[in-house]
Structure 1
Amino acid sequence: MYKSIPFPQSGRRHPLAAVMALLLGLVMAAAAPASANERYAALVVDAKTGETLFARNADDLRFPASLTKMMTLYILFEEMEAGRMGVNTPLQVSANAAAQAPSKLGIPAGRTIRVDDAIKALAVKSANDIAVVIAENIEGSVDAFARRMTRTARAIGMDRTTFRNPHGLPNPQQTTTARDMATLGRALQDRFPRYFAYFGTRTFSYGKATYRNTNRLLGTVEGVEGIKTGYTRASGFNLVTSVQRGNRKIVAVVMGGQTGASRNAHMKELIATYLPGANPGKRTAPLLVADTSHISGAPLPRVRPGYTPAATLASAEIGRPAGEEAVGDAPVAIAAMASAAKPAARPAPEGADPIAARILAAQEVAQLAYAPAHERADDPIARLAELAQAKSHQPPRARQAVVAAPAEAAPASRSGWQIQIGAVPSREGADALLSKASSAAGDVVARLEPFTIAVDAGGTTLYRARFAGFDGKDDARKACTQLKRKSFDCLAVPN
């Protein structure tokens, strides 16, 4: 797929013929990705800035195969965050689920499986039967669950993705793009930092069997945290990978590999080539935390997630022996810290949009998640989140929460809809982000007014980078769509 096999030779050849054969082989190698494999697509995104570092066919429609299960788990995590399910909740296995094609666990109809095991069955084994179990237990049917998957995809910003089932088995109408899969990979980390560690689980034991993660880069390539593999004949070999080394972090996608080995080799090349050039500084891209409460009923996260490496989370959260209980005094300690750290509440400005305020609060209280540990050492909210992640296994509804202050009202001259492309720890950083957007997308923002606004997010001052001057909601959302195509994160908000 990515590197041509040397041009075949048989018998003796004239030296000139050998040279010509070598040259032809090189030509074939250069053309291989475009001509030999029309399914190929790839993308590398800097997770801290949202900048596209590499793209090939990134917006062309492809079949997701088992990458689909990333969205299935996204919705299950929403149910867990809302408190409607916990790790020990039993899920009923129907005859329909039991009849799914492999890969599968093979649990007979009428039995149950715990949510914790169901998550691992998808993240590690990629079990199709358990994907249907999750879908039916949450929405009652595969069709209803698939509709929720598609609505959730749109809310996240996956504009070109349509789901028809929860596992990725062949369906000509179930399509996506490499860019949308990268968006989903980032959104899983931003929205569910506690649960994302499941994707880094290397082995999963169920019954008498032990399964190894289908992502062979785990444990073999430094910094790989997950996420998911996928394969059907129509899709080829797919892989979404999250990688962090030191202060650099990327999310990379390869779709349409001809073999698992060639896909993995290409992913290793992308990591080696583009990770060293990723931004080592603080995160500037807005978190991909979309408000899907109207779809799922699950609240947006209210506690800023302190950044913890996946390996640490895996051992603390999901590496416990089956049946082992969480540390008993963790909720008490968490409640005490929340009481000490919670800032005084401020009323929302008159006329403010409550949903937009919730989205912004969720984004901004999480901005320091990517900050180095020494910069968060004296932050009580970060300590609270880290303690909750490391020691608590209670459903999120049992925890206390720290809420960021609502957005300040913008000046009257900026009334109407605005777009926000980031919230960063310094005014200089916000100005730089606006300048970068103006240079890269001048035709989109040329007539708009760039400005920054300081906000207090749980005791931390952040600076919003915004553009004002839209005719209405549709105009603002259209601008966001155009900016996203130029690799900027964007959120349309009313003033």
Structure 2
Amino acid sequence: MFAKLTSARSVLVAAGLALATMLGAVAPTPASAAIPYLQLNASEPKYAAIVIDANSGEVLYDKRADSPRYPASVTKVMTLYLTFEALGEGRMKLTDRVVMSPRAAGQAPTKIGLRPGESMSVDEAIKAMTVKSANDVAVAMAERLAGSESRFAALMTLRGQELGMRNTRFVNASGLPDSRQISTARDLAILSRAVMRDFPQYYSYFSVRGFTFRGAYIKGHNRLLDNMEGFDGLKTGYTNASGFNLAGSAVRDGRRLIAVVLGGPSTAWRDNNMEDLLLTGFDVMKRRAKGERTTIAANIYEDEPSGPIDRPSVEQGDGDQAGLKIVLTENPHNPGPMKVSPTLRAAQATAKPAKKPQGEWAVQVGAFKSKSLANEQLKLVRGRFAKVVADTEAAVEGAGGTFRAQFQGLTADAARSACSTLKAKRVPCMVLSPR
């Protein structure tokens, strides 16, 4: 799939660990000192996302991809990267033991729950991190590889910088609460691509849905492994401060895409957004191969999450975050995504409504930069789903510099039913009530 990690990195391991040891002994600095562009702005949304082509690294979509965010348990992808690195270089074997120290055993849930002095195999430890997102195991592995978690965290940051993660700083191995631990959607996509490129022999660990440990079956948090065809990893994360995070990857028709979604308001919203981004990305890649010039942004309704975070009854590996708040701004040094002039596919034949509209509700199927694009979307949906929107009037409403494609004249029940049908066919939509 990818070229193997160069031998030059192996040469840097000892030097990097030595430097990490020195850095780990230094008193921690504020996040704003480590990342100068971090500023306080309570109005900044938590949501950020990116989609990249895993083969070329080309950015297909981004939204606040360089704004600082809390990575939560997606942090463990870097912990696992360094674990795989140790395995690949023969410094550790899958059958070796990872011993739980008192400090590791004392980590906040989610955790495996071994007592100090107890141990598990490296193979079990990797599964505990990918499947259960076990914080105690992440710390135990950090201590196994670097002597202490602080030295390991410094090495994580150094390795991230080497990989191109310019705006990331790690201070722990688990993703547990720490306002100094900052990353971005772009950096986490770089990390996700690196781990599958450099260690393809271990990437399948991210696809494990569950495993048995000491007679008990432990099921994972990554629901898309069961619910989306071709989806095979990587890692979920959640804290009150970060919202619901997911670094994911999927393969369709021989193409692999990587997406990162940060700051979702719920598990379901995050997973749906991830699936929409990946499916639209695969469609865009297929159409571009046929000569069309289009982008994900031109083909997806960018519905920003709003409202409070839906706190789950069971945390996804990141402990209690009630006292930590996130206030962020855009990175003024954003290198910017690939720019492509957006066009939509040729409109299909339109079908006139069979009946006069009966209600005051509407279904919105997209918001676009021009009225012509909004009309194209209406024609496309009408052509593909004539029966679903048969009793409606197509309309384009301009607001705030965008043009919203809507099917109006529905009752409340009809609008909800129509939108539900469209979503089932992977057409983003939202129900609009009367003003």
Which interval holds the TM-score relative to the shorter structure? 0.5 to 0.7
**1:179 matched residue in structure 2:** 186
Q: Which of the residues 152, 164, 174 maps onto 1:167? A: 174
Aligned to 1:121: 128
- Partner of 1:6 in structure 2? none
Which position in structure 2 is the counterpart of 1:421?
A: none
Partner of 1:39: 46
Residue 189, structure 1, aligned to residue 196, structure 2: yes
Q: Distance in 2 between matches of 1:278 and 1:66?
A: 30
Cα shift at 1:197 = 0.7
CA distance in 2, matches of 1:36, 1:210: 43
Pick closer, same or farther for the CA change 1:487–1:206 going to 2, 3 Å: farther
1:192 partner amino acid = F
> TM-score, normalised on structure 1?
0.50
1:88 aligns with 2:86: no
1:375-432 alpha-carbon deviations (Å, 9 max, x no partner): xxxxxxxxxxxxxxxxxxxxxxxxxxxxxxxxxxxxxxxxxxxxxxxxxxxxxxxxxx
Deviations 1:426-468 (A, max 9, x none): xxxxxxxxxxxxxxxxxxxxxxxxxxxxxxxxxxxxxxxxxxx
Does the CA-based 8 Å contact 1:146-1:164 persist in structure 2? Answer: yes
String of CA shifts for 1:290-347, please: whole Å, max 9, x gaps: xxxxxxxxxxxxxxxxxxxxxxxxxxxxxxxxxxxxxxxxxxxxxxxxxxxxxxxxxx
The answer for the alignment partner of 1:415 in structure 2 is none
Q: C-alpha separation between the residues in 1 aligned to 2:115 and 2:338?
A: 46
Deviation at 1:37, TM superposition (A): 7.3
Aligned AA (1:161): T
- Match runs of 1:51-450 below 5 Å: 51-278=58-285
Q: Which residue of 1 aligns with 2:416?
A: none
TM-score (norm 2): 0.56
What code does the residue aligned with 2:256 have? K
Cα deviation for residue 483 of structure 1 reads: 11
**TM-fit CA distance, 1:76:** 0.6
CA separation of 1:151/1:279 partners in 2, compared to 1, >3 Å: closer, same or farther?
A: farther
1:196 and 1:166 mapped to 2: Cα distance?
A: 19
Is the 2:232–2:248 contact (alpha carbons within 8 Å) kept by the matching residues of 1?
yes
Q: Alpha-carbon deviation of 1:46?
A: 1.2
In the TM superposition, residue 278 of structure 1 has moved relative to its aligned partner by 2.6
Paired position in structure 1 for 2:413: none
Deviation at 1:229, TM superposition (A): 0.3
Could you say what secondary structure the match of 2:108 adopts?
coil
- 3-state secondary structure, aligned to 2:83: helix
- Tell me what 2:356 maps to: none
Taking every aligned residue pair, what percent have the same amino acid on both sides? 44
Distance in 1 between residues matched to 2:49 and 2:334, nearest whole Å: 20
CA offset at residue 279 of structure 1? 6.5
User: Counterpart of 1:46 in structure 2: which amino acid?
Assistant: D
Measure, in 2, the Cα distance between the counterparts of 1:483 and 1:193.
Answer: 30
Separation of aligned partners in 2, 1:101 and 1:125: 13
Question: Is 1:48 matched with 2:48?
Answer: no
Please tell me whether the aligned partners of residues 158 and 184 of structure 1 are also in contact (alpha carbons under 8 angstroms): yes
Partner of 1:342: none
In structure 2, C-alpha distance between the alignment counterparts of 1:143 and 1:76, rounded to whole Å: 16
Question: In 2, distance between residues paired with 1:224 and 1:85?
Answer: 29
Cα distance in 2, alignment partners of residues 274 and 169 from structure 1 = 32
CA contact (8 A) 2:62 2:337 kept: no
SS at structure 1 position matched to 2:251: strand
Letter paired with 1:90: R
| Paired residues of 1:248 and 1:280 also in contact (CA < 8 A) | no
Q: Distance in 2 between matches of 1:49 and 1:281?
A: 15
Instruction: Answer whether contact 1:79 1:85 (CA < 8 A) is retained.
Output: yes
Deviation of the 1:36 alpha carbon: 8.8
Distance in 2, Cα, partners of 1:483 & 1:59: 6
SS at match of 1:146: helix
* Structure 1 position 207, deviation (Å): 1.1
| CA–CA distance in structure 2, aligned partners of residues 148 and 37 of structure 1 | 30
Distance 2:218 2:284 in 1: 35
Deviation at 1:484, TM superposition (A): 6.7
Q: Taking structure 1 as reference, are residues 128 and 483 closer, same or farther at Cα in structure 2, changes over 3 Å only?
A: closer
The answer on whether the counterparts of 1:150 and 1:162 sit within 8 Å (CA) in structure 2 is: yes
Instruction: Give the unaligned 5+ runs of structure 2.
Output: 1-41, 290-332, 340-435
Specify which structure has the bigger relative contact order, considering alpha-carbon pairs within 8 angstroms and separated by 6 or more residues: 2
The equivalent of 1:451 in structure 2 is: none
Distance 1:485 1:56, change over 3 A: closer
Give, in angstroms, the shift of residue 49 of structure 1: 2.2
Between the aligned partners of 1:279 and 1:151, the Cα distance in structure 2 is: 37
Q: Once superposed, what is the RMSD of the aligned Cα atoms?
A: 2.3
Deviation at 1:220, TM superposition (A): 1.4
- C-alpha change, 1:36 and 1:483, in structure 2 (3 Å) is closer
Equivalent position amino acid for 2:283 in 1: P
In the other structure, the counterpart of 1:429 is: none
Which residue is 1:21 aligned to?
none
Tell me, in whole angstroms, the C-alpha distance in 1 between the residues paired with 2:287 and 2:188: 23
CA distance in 2, matches of 1:65, 1:228: 10
- The whole-number CA distance in structure 1 between the counterparts of 2:285 and 2:78 is 26
8 Å CA contact 2:60–2:337 kept in 1: the answer is: no
Alignment of 1:442-461 (within 5 A): none
Equivalent pair of 1:105/1:130 in contact (CA under 8 Å): yes
Runs of 4+ in 1 over 3 A off after TM superposition: 279-282, 482-488
Q: 1:273 to 1:37 in 2, by over 3 A?
A: farther
CA distance in 2, matches of 1:483, 1:267: 22
